[in-house]
Amino acid sequence: MEEMDLIIQSQQNNRQAFNQLVVKYQDRLYTTLYRMIGNDHDTLDICQEAFIRAFVNIRSFKGKSSFSTWLCQIAINQYYTHHQKSKKEKERKVDYQIARKKEAVQAYTSGLTELKNPAVNPTQPVHAKEQAETVQSALDSLEPELRKIVVLKDVEDLSYMEISAMVKKPVHIIRTRLSQARQELRNTLKKYL
């Protein structure tokens, strides 16, 4: 069934149609949120809340953007709501062995390939997982607005226009903040060389 047909049926309270949309987008949404949040429990909670809100508000979807963009915007809004509530409660600090961190910069500069696939193949060397964890730790050190832009651009490979629509900022601001975020990541990861 075509996506637009599923959306129309979902707008008519067809839960089975909406469940098909959930199945189609749950992995992508989870991966995007995990890269911004960094922990499985909160990511699952926010994903679930985002899908609930999407179902409740699906009648407001007009097709001006793609469904995935609309859904991702809902999830990001949920992330901000959650982040504001837990900001004072949680601070994640990760301390890994410095000797193995040298390769983290290469992981980032090679297009964040380890981050595009959150499941680590058990046959891969252990250092690949540690590289991904190091880069994730560096992402976690960014302020939420910068982290979101880096994840949407470098991990999810969205266009500047799509990101601009999602964060409600002009493209030139997105480009500036992305540049700033990348520089902060370089500076953070440089100490592991």
CA 19 from centre of chain: 21
Q: What is the Cα–Cα distance from 5 to 10, expressed in whole angstroms?
A: 8
Identify the pLDDT of residue 131: 76
Identify the pLDDT of residue 179: 92
Domain ranges across the chain = 1-91, 93-193
CA 77 from centre of chain: 12
As assigned by CATH, the class of the 1-91 domain is mainly alpha
57 phi and psi angles, rounded to 5 deg? -105, 15
Q: Please name the residue ranges forming H helices in the chain.
A: 3-11, 15-37, 40-56, 67-86, 104-109, 113-116, 126-140, 144-150, 160-167, 171-190
Identify the pLDDT of residue 121: 52
- pLDDT means per 10 residues in the chain (193 residues)? 88 92 93 87 91 92 89 89 62 37 47 50 61 82 88 86 88 92 88 67
Q: What is the Cα–Cα distance from 20 to 75, expressed in whole angstroms?
A: 18
- What fold is seen in the domain 93-193? Arc Repressor Mutant, subunit A (1.10.10)
pLDDT digits (tens, 9 = 90+) for 119-170: 555 545 556 677 778 888 888 888 888 888 988 888 888 889 888 888 889 9
